[in-house]
């Protein structure tokens, strides 16, 4: 067990060297804008979300304005984003819930956040940690993939178990930074389709990298 922890410590240290500046790439000015951006980011790149949100927040400046908008109008404003009709419906419903249940403010607990339409545990963790400074590890597709490639968890481990394992392996003060770090590492280095194992500084301590090394560093 101690050996596993030591391996992870080294893996994480090397990831930290590759991604020293760990931050959220969704552009936002406050917790409300972050919440809408996180909702929009499901199955969509942050680049695409960032291309849409300036116009969206210029047209709808408050939860009240979104709550009073038609779903069709919001859908038109975000039409370049995947699943835009469903997301528009969730945005309007979310803002109505904010007005009705939370005084128009984004709530600050995971349980309350998860009562909002379109917000699951992963999104709640992003909002909690990024907007409110509450330590949390949001396990998105990048965090899950990197964790499994590095052997932190077994390939068939559930997302919930990945989150629990990372929380055990990292000190609480590092949780939020680790989330952003693993996201950026997965997004730009250990990518889904073409991980750059041959150039990766983790290749000697990464089971997935070693597996491909046996084939002669084909990637
Ligand atoms: Fe990802 Fe390959 Fe690096 Fe392992 S060696 S962390 S699979 S890029």
> What would the DSSP string read from start to end of 106-130?
--SSHHHHTTSTT--HHHHHHHHHH
Give the domain extent around 176.
2-22+138-212
**Ligand 1 closest atom vs CA 207:** 4
- Total Cβ atoms within 10 A of residue 90: 21
Same domain, 121 and 166: no
Ligand 1, atom 1, residue with closest C-alpha: 190
Tell me the pLDDT of the chain (219 aa) as tens digits: 555 558 999 999 999 999 999 999 999 999 999 999 999 999 999 999 999 999 999 999 999 999 999 999 999 999 999 999 999 999 999 999 999 999 999 999 999 999 999 999 999 999 999 999 999 999 999 999 999 999 999 999 999 999 999 999 999 999 999 999 999 999 999 999 999 899 999 999 999 999 876 655 444
**Ligand 1 closest atom vs CA 195:** 8
Last residue of a domain, one of 132, 158, 184: 132
Whole-angstrom distance, CA of residue 45 vs CA of residue 57? 18
The three-point CA angle 151-173-129 to 5° equals 90
Residues recognised as catalytic: 122, 140
Residue from 155, 197, 211, 214 whose mutation best tests the ligand 1 pocket (most atoms within 8 A of CB) = 197
**Ligand 1 closest atom vs CA 208:** 7
CATH number at residue 180: 1.10.1670.10
CA 203 / ligand 1 centre spacing (Å): 6
Residue 218 forms part of a structural domain: no
Residue from 206, 210, 214 whose mutation best tests the ligand 1 pocket (most atoms within 8 A of CB) = 206
**Packed helices 141-149 and 175-188: angle between N→C axes, nearest 10 degrees:** 80
Same domain, 17 and 37: no
Q: How many CA atoms lie within 13 A of 128 on its CB side?
A: 22
Same domain, 48 and 104: yes
- Total Cβ atoms within 10 A of residue 74: 23
Q: Into how many domains does the chain fold?
A: 2
Same domain, 102 and 54: yes
| Pocket, ligand 1, Cβ cutoff 6 A | 149-150, 189-190, 195-197, 200, 202-203, 206, 208-209
Same domain, 68 and 120: yes
Residue 217 forms part of a structural domain: no
- The predicted model scores a pTM of 0.92
């Amino acid at each position: 067990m101690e050996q596993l922890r030591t391996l992870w410590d080294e893996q994480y240290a090397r990831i930290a060297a590759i991604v020293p500046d760990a931050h959220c790439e969704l552009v936002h000015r406050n917790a409300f804008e972050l919440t809408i951006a996180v909702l929009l980011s499901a199955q969509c790149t942050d680049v695409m979300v960032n291309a849409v949100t300036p116009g969206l927040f210029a047209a709808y400046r408050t939860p009240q304005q979104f709550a009073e908008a038609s779903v069709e109008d919001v859908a038109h404003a975000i039409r370049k984003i995947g699943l835009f009709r469903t997301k528009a419906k969730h945005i309007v419903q979310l803002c109505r819930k904010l007005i009705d249940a939370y005084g128009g403010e984004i709530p600050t607990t995971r349980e309350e956040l998860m009562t909002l339409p379109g917000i699951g545990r992963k999104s709640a963790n992003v909002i909690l940690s990024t907007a409110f400074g509450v330590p949390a590890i949001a396990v998105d597709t990048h965090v899950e993939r990197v964790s499994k490639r590095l052997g932190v968890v077994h390939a068939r481990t559930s997302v919930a178990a990945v989150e629990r394992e990372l929380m055990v392996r990292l000190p609480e003060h590092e949780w939020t930074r680790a989330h952003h770090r693993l996201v950026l590492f997965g997004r730009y280095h250990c990518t889904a389709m073409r991980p750059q194992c041959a150039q990766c500084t983790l290749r000697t301590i990464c089971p997935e990298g070693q597996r491909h090394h046996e084939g002669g560093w084909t990637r």
